[in-house]
Amino acid sequence: MSETNIINDYLAGAIGGCAGVVVGHPLDTIKVQIQTQEYGGKYASMMDCIRTVQAQNLSKGYFRGLSWPLFSYGVINSVFFGTYGVALKAQGCEEIAGSKPQYGAIAIASAVATLPQLLIMCPVEVIKVTLQSQIPHTHNVPKTAAKQYFSGPMEAATSIIKTSGYRGMYRGFCTQIIRDTPASVAYLVIYSFLQYESQKRMPSFPSQLGNFISGGISGVLSWMIIMPFDVIKSKLQADPNKQMYEGFWDCTKKVYSAGGLRAFIMGFVPMSIRAFPVNAVTLMVYSESLLYLNRYNS
């Protein structure tokens, strides 16, 4: 029974991850375009960016780079939530509906689950960001930023590996660890708290709707905590061959010199708009799938 429950953690994570990717990719594209606009041209405003992306067809605009994360984020979230479930059980902690969460155990489990997830996630992010950043916006493009336009993920991956080796596929890995570890802890601790309190105080409230709202709020708050690191990560991963930035500190200094502290919250609006539905759907589908699978196996 215990082994079956562990498998259910992985399956539910995969289902929730795929659902979240499809919902959030268009706004993720807008966020990445704003954060990496030195590669595709300067935008006058977020609406300028939206118009530029909208001018492409769907596969070259809002859904550019989707195939790579769509086929991999199921695996990524499966690894994360599966490892999270294993880490909870290793601490003697079981997620039982209606019982008060053990927040310390949840924080440790979510932090532990971050690293194995990133081993798969970082190359996916490098390819996704590289493709999203190449949506063309022709005016004010600096010559130093000109680079090859990739038709798809395989062409981009082949070029990066050929130019920078496999290390190029892990560009920004340390930044992702710094970004994702506190985000994961905040994400699941806040979600568990909101989920428990909503069910406790409003027992007649539908659990699916409660999970949806709790997931959305926890997603927005966790992203707000790590927004500056997301800006650095996007810029580094859009530049896998180090044409503009040597590394984390070089990128940080150049971003600050170019735009001050405000530059570290670039893409905040589309991030906030995206974070709620993506995380709401991901955690709702994960929670409901896990509940169904455990009941089915019982």
Q: Where are the domains of the chain?
A: 2-297
Lowest mean pLDDT among 63-72, 233-242, 255-264, 288-297: 63-72
* Residue 134 to residue 233: CA distance in whole angstroms: 16
pLDDT at 101 over 70: yes
Task: Give how far Cα 154 sits from Cα of 128, 159, 166, 268, Å.
Answer: 11, 9, 14, 30
- The whole-number pLDDT of residue 270 equals 78
- Mean per-residue pLDDT over the chain, rounded: 79
* Residue 132 to residue 76: CA distance in whole angstroms: 20
> In the CATH hierarchy, which fold is given to the domain comprising 2-297?
Mitochondrial carrier fold (1.50.40)
* Residue 91 to residue 106: CA distance in whole angstroms: 10
- The whole-number pLDDT of residue 184 equals 92
Q: Are 8 and 81 in contact (CB under 8 A)?
A: no
Q: Are 258 and 232 in contact (CB under 8 A)?
A: no
pLDDT tens track for 174-211: 888 988 999 999 999 999 999 888 888 888 878 778 88
CA angle 178, 182, 186 (to 5 degrees): 160
Confirm whether pTM is higher than 0.75: no
Percent of the chain with pLDDT over 90: 12
